[in-house]
């Protein structure tokens, strides 16, 4: 995305300014948005929850955006960028008309302050720091030009910089509040201002009347709704009633068995939103018997009727997962697909591994309490019991208990996944030193493929790399993939313009309108 220096600012700013002036006084009302998880922390630079991005993607602007229709990157707070021939330097030419919600000017020093805040090891960033890969130096070239120097090429960098986790925050606010309190006082440049966050209760945003630098991917140039209030509905059984009663105007992760009934109501719609990334999956512990035996892991995969589980829990609204990546990302092919249900083959494999003739096979399955994992876990446990196993099912109430269970190591399979638009998201799960390498599996071949995936910039070449990686994951039976995520989002028909970013979870709140 390289434009002549003389025209780059005018092309992107002037139309936005005109549109913003024409619609600035048209905002109305309050919209109520239901969230389905109350994160333990909501600073996107330090915390990792997907849920935090639903409101905060509209509080922050990133340097670039990914266009959901074309898949290409388009200008955000950077009008233009250049990548050196060796892939080691990314130079961003920044807009000069942007101010943070606290009145501070956005510039190259702000970019440096944000990235240094994220990378500070004392801040313990759970996600954003790793998304910067081999970033070595942040160089301010002039007040509105910043260069990022890498130790080695890193193909996912633009994708990383397009996400809320690396959205630009006011350096003044970061310095004032620090990593402990900033989450309650967030300051960005986006179409909505952060007003208040009361943990486990609500989060409130208010329209930013000065917003005049939105990307072309937005349909509106300024927000139409004055206030948006988010409340938490962690109990699945409360979500449909909240939508039906009018307690919320929008809420996601509706149970599949409620969708047909809700869709019949004249005042409601249900959108099916595919979520890119990893499927709902269970990771096998390769360091603890009996799942240290690949034959046992294979048996526990083919002994589960994944299609039946998906049909039972998710109706016809989710595809059956065929590997470690959703079907619309790189690396999916017939060669990488996990086999279908075959209980006879499963029993034969267990026999070969010595688990036959009355030998007691004891398994411990740990599942998180979100995304229908508990219901899926019950059905998986039942399938394994049909193979002759005794299964203990533990539901971990949140990421903290899940991580604690992982640390204790007393599990044979554990549920964990993440979402995103670049297949590099597999690196923490399958790299030997990956943060989420909860299988404990160390394979130089996997490490090499993961490294090659970050070094190669060509789409076709990267697709081949991740296809090879997915095949290795299947050959070693490291996971039990269940279903590709589809978010069932209920919306009151008085709400118009609901669209989501390429990440799937994050709505473009600026485009929403409320009918009387």
Q: What is the pLDDT of residue 328?
A: 65
Q: Tens of pLDDT along 442-494?
A: 999 999 999 999 999 888 899 899 999 999 999 999 999 999 999 999 999 99
Closest CA to 276 of 213, 341, 321, 342: 321
Number of domains the chain is built from: 2
The β-bridge relationship of strands 486-492 and 268-274 is antiparallel
* 265 found inside a domain: no
Do 241 and 356 belong to one domain? no
Do 498 and 419 belong to one domain? no
User: Is pLDDT above 50 for 159?
Assistant: yes
Q: Tens of pLDDT along 196-210?
A: 999 999 999 999 999
- What pTM did the predictor assign? 0.88
Do 87 and 190 belong to one domain? yes
User: Is pLDDT above 80 for 343?
Assistant: yes
- Residue 20's pLDDT band (boundaries 50, 70, 90)? very low
Tell the residue number behind the tokens 């809320």, with chain if given.
164
* 431 found inside a domain: yes
Q: Mean pLDDT for the chain?
A: 91
Closest CA to 406 of 429, 378, 384, 381: 429
The H or E element spanning position 202 is strand 202-207
Structure tokens, 354: 């010595």
* 44 found inside a domain: yes
The β-bridge relationship of strands 486-492 and 250-251 is antiparallel
Do 469 and 493 belong to one domain? no
The β-bridge relationship of strands 389-396 and 361-368 is parallel
Which residue range is the domain that position 413 belongs to?
280-484
Closest CA to 331 of 440, 460, 467, 464: 467
- The dihedral built from the CA positions of residue 309, 311, 315 and 318, taken in this order, carries a sign that is positive
Do 70 and 146 belong to one domain? yes
Do 156 and 238 belong to one domain? yes
Do 48 and 173 belong to one domain? yes
User: Is pLDDT above 90 for 10?
Assistant: no
Least-confidence region, from 68-72, 171-175, 208-212, 330-334: 330-334
Do 217 and 317 belong to one domain? no
Q: What 3-state class would DSSP assign to 244?
A: helix
Do 495 and 468 belong to one domain? no
Do 185 and 296 belong to one domain? no
């Amino acid at each position: 995305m390289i434009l002549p220096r003389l025209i780059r600012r005018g092309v992107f700013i002037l139309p936005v300014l005109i549109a913003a002036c024409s619609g600035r006084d048209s905002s109305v009302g309050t919209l109520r948005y239901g969230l389905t998880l109350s994160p333990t922390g909501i600073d996107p630079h330090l915390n990792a929850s997907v849920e935090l991005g639903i409101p905060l993607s509209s509080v922050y602007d990133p340097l670039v955006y990914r266009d959901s229709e074309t898949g290409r990157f388009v200008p955000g707070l950077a009008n233009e960028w250049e990548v050196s021939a060796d892939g080691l330097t990314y130079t961003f030419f920044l807009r000069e008309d942007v101010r943070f919600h606290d009145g501070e000017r956005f510039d190259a020093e702000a970019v440096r302050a944000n990235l240094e805040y994220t990378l500070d090891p004392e801040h313990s960033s759970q996600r954003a720091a790793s998304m910067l890969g081999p970033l070595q130096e942040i160089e301010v070239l002039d007040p509105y030009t910043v260069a990022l120097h890498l130790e080695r090429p890193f193909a996912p960098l633009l994708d990383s910089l397009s996400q809320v986790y690396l959205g630009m925050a006011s350096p003044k606010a970061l310095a004032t509040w620090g990593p402990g309190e900033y989450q309650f006082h967030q300051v960005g440049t986006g179409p909505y201002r952060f007003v208040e966050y009361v943990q486990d209760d609500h989060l409130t945003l208010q329209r930013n009347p000065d917003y005049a630098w939105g990307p072309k991917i937005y349909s509106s140039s300024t927000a139409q709704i004055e206030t948006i209030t988010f409340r938490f509905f962690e109990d699945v059984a409360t979500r449909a009633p909240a939508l039906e009663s009018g307690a919320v105007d929008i809420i996601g992760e509706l149970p599949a068995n409620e969708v047909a009934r809700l869709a019949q109501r004249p005042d409601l719609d249900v959108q099916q939103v595919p979520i890119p990334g990893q499927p709902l999956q269970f990771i096998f512990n390769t360091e603890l018997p009996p799942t240290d035996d690949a034959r046992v892991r294979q048996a526990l995969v083919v002994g589960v009727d994944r299609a039946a589980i998906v049909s039972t829990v998710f109706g016809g609204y989710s595809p059956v997962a065929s590997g470690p990546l959703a079907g619309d990302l790189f690396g999916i092919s017939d060669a990488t697909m996990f086999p279908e249900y075959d209980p006879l083959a499963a029993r034969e494999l267990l026999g070969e591994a010595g688990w036959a003739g009355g030998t007691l096979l004891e398994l411990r399955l740990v599942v998180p309490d979100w995304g229908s994992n508990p219901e899926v876990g019950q059905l998986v446990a039942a399938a394994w019991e049909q193979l002759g196993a005794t299964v203990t099912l533990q539901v971990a109430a949140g990421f903290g208990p899940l991580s604690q269970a992982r640390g204790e190591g007393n599990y044979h399979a554990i549920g964990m996944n993440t979402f995103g638009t670049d297949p590099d998201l597999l690196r923490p799960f399958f790299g030997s030193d990956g943060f989420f390498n909860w299988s404990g599996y160390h394979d130089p071949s996997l490490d090499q493929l993961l490294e090659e995936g970050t070094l190669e910039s060509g789409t076709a070449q990267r697709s081949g790399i991740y296809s090879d990686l997915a095949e290795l994951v299947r050959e070693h039976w490291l996971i039990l993939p269940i279903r590709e995520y589809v978010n069932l989002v209920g919306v009151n028909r008085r709400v118009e313009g609901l669209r989501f970013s390429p990440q799937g979870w994050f709505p473009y709140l600026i485009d929403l309108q409320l009918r009387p």
